[in-house]
Amino acid sequence: MPVPVQVAYKPIDQPTIGVNNYQGFNPGKSEVLPKGWNGYDARPLESDIRIDRDVEIVVRDGCRLYVDVYRPADAQAKVPAILGWSCYGKAYSALSMLPMTVWHCCVKREELSGLEKFEGLDPLRWCPKGYAIVSVDTRGTGNSDGQIPVMGSQDGEDGYDVVEAIAKMDWCNGSVGMAGNSALAISQWFTAALNPPSLKAIAPWEGAGDLFREQFCRGGVFSMSNFDLITKEIIKGNSGVEDFAEMYRRSPTANAYWNDKRVAMKNIKCPAFILGSDVSSLHTMGSIRAWLETPHEKKWIKWGSKQEWFELYSVPHSNEELAMFFDRYLKGEENDWEKTPRVQWSVLQFGDRPAIEDIVLEDYPVPNTEYREFFLADGKLQQEPPTNESVQQYDSEKFGSIADFDFTFTEKTRLLGLPKAILYMSCKEKDDLCVFVIIRKKDRNGKTLMHLNFPVEATPVNCIDEIPEKQRASLNLHQGSVGILRASQRAIDESKSIHPQFPFHPHEKQEKIPPGEIVRLEIGIWNVSIDFDAGESVSVQVGGQFPSIAEYKSYSAPRPEHERNKGFHLIHSGPEHPSSVILPVVPVSSG
């Protein structure tokens, strides 16, 4: 049911033929695209595919939703379906989206058919495998009725009803799965948590699980992230879409509306093949929490090192592995899928060195992880508590102003798991602080490194240093794992924390801090997976601005003055104020 809060919506552009691949409203139209068809001047079809357009599904409150069904034209038996669910438009493809990104995210045009829903599976690959791909215009999108809810219980209920309707269609064998990246992954959590009987398996590849704490209000700090771009350039419909900025203005702390955007992972019962990574700026902790909280053994997690769209469209092995998973649970094939290691990991090396891939782990977090505490003092991370009090400061209003603390490893060391910062901080100029912590890597010469999110051979450069400043974005470069916290929302509910290293902040109230008073902050940092050689250093950097690389044009208004940082933030260290960071150290031979 919809949340018991009046939801604000903002207008969006109507669908227009030719814009974002919208092809008009064609209920009842069915056609066969023959093998070799190449209508988008991309990759020719490898088999005949039947497309049933604008098939109507009526959900429980009477809203009409419309789907396109791509299925094998010559199927002699009923086939399973894989659902692609988002408000991006059922014909909006990767061919439409990727030109907006640096290097098209290294996905070659000849790797796509143009039939794929953006972030979803390509019918070109999957129909020959004996699957139907169903692409949905969710509530309010395209010609579907209503206004667009972004994730949450309404979206989950609609997903439940569509899954059950598809399972009953005369071409379907009764088994439905869900797959896709990002928006198409997040939506899977909400539908799967309601356990529709015909949903037999999900494959959420890079999906956040809490839109308040992981995207729009991370750590209590509001950001429209990339959603202004999405609502301006991508989403089309005849009514409107949820207005997150207005909902935050009405309630900057968690309420029924925001809590509805957090998935109850503990309710998911169907098999799940989860993919996550350190390099995502949105989805890392959704994948981690899903692994930890999904309450059964038929779950697998694979930790990648590549940008998610490249992984989905340009790594053939990924699709083959996914096909094995769906063959097992949507077709019932006895194919030894269960022998697949349940935890496979990638560890980043940074610089121009590729990640170490497919490390098999016993579990996550790695059993017997050593949570090693390093104390912050005088620009260093030290393993012994400092004996003297000291203060380090940064200008919270200035991007690039940071307090930097380093530790140089004397032997090869692997960090893998959840870091946590415990900081004693104050600010004389304001009664609140927004604090940003990032874990970075430095080479033997003290150069701060980044990780390239694509194989270098897929890019137009030979090394990271060759990338022009204007082509540097979080889609192609990863700087390090980040933790964020607004000091006035520092309260912790340990009963909801997924791990002692990752505290759960309810964000239900604001407790302002008298200017100049020292306050203890416990900040969970997103997963880190990094190898260090002897002589290389880990750098913990604290600042007052999000440590990002600009990656998209923002349509947002500037944040109001009362929400911004002001003045200098002070980090206090010493016997009375033992500021520290706790890093997860595992044996390099683990797995």
Answer for the pair 577, 472: CB distance below 8 angstroms, yes or no. no
**Coil, helix or strand at residue 304:** strand
What does the alpha-carbon distance between residue 285 and residue 74 come to, in Å, rounded to a whole number? 42
Length of the chain: 591
Answer for the pair 545, 398: CB distance below 8 angstroms, yes or no. yes
State residue 331's pLDDT score: 98
User: How are beta strands 477-478 and 451-452 bridged, if at all?
Assistant: antiparallel
- Per-residue pLDDT tens digits of the chain, which is 591 residues long: 678 899 999 999 999 999 999 999 999 999 999 999 999 999 999 999 999 999 999 999 999 999 999 999 999 999 999 999 999 999 999 999 999 999 999 999 999 999 999 999 999 999 999 999 999 999 999 999 999 999 999 999 999 999 999 999 999 999 999 999 999 999 999 999 999 999 999 999 999 999 999 999 999 999 987 888 899 999 999 999 999 999 999 999 999 999 999 999 999 999 999 999 999 989 999 999 999 999 999 999 999 999 999 999 999 999 999 999 999 999 999 999 999 999 999 999 999 999 999 999 999 999 999 999 999 999 999 999 999 999 999 999 999 999 999 999 999 999 999 999 999 999 999 999 999 999 999 999 999 999 999 999 999 999 999 999 999 999 999 999 999 999 999 999 999 999 999 999 999 999 999 999 999 999 999 999 999 999 999 999 999 999 978 654 556 677 888 899 999 999 999 999 999 999 999 999 755
Element (H, E) at 68: strand 64-72
**Domains, in order of start, for the chain:** 9-340 (3.40.50.1820), 370-586 (2.60.120.260)
State residue 556's pLDDT score: 66
Place of tokens 């979080």: 474
Take residue 186 and report the two structure tokens written for it. Answer: 């997040």
State residue 337's pLDDT score: 97
Cβ atoms within 10 Å of 560's Cβ, excluding its own: 9
Closest CA to 328 of 304, 367, 290, 300: 300
Place of tokens 């093998």: 35
State residue 590's pLDDT score: 54
What does the alpha-carbon distance between residue 115 and residue 123 come to, in Å, rounded to a whole number? 6
Element (H, E) at 247: helix 244-250
User: How are beta strands 568-573 and 390-395 bridged, if at all?
Assistant: antiparallel
What does the alpha-carbon distance between residue 174 and residue 409 come to, in Å, rounded to a whole number? 55
Place of tokens 């490194």: 449
What does the alpha-carbon distance between residue 438 and residue 539 come to, in Å, rounded to a whole number? 8
What does the alpha-carbon distance between residue 180 and residue 190 come to, in Å, rounded to a whole number? 14
Global confidence as pTM: 0.96
Take residue 439 and report the two structure tokens written for it. Answer: 């874990």
Give me the amino acid identity at 415.
Answer: L
Answer for the pair 285, 501: CB distance below 8 angstroms, yes or no. no
Take residue 142 and report the two structure tokens written for it. Answer: 């395209």
State residue 226's pLDDT score: 82
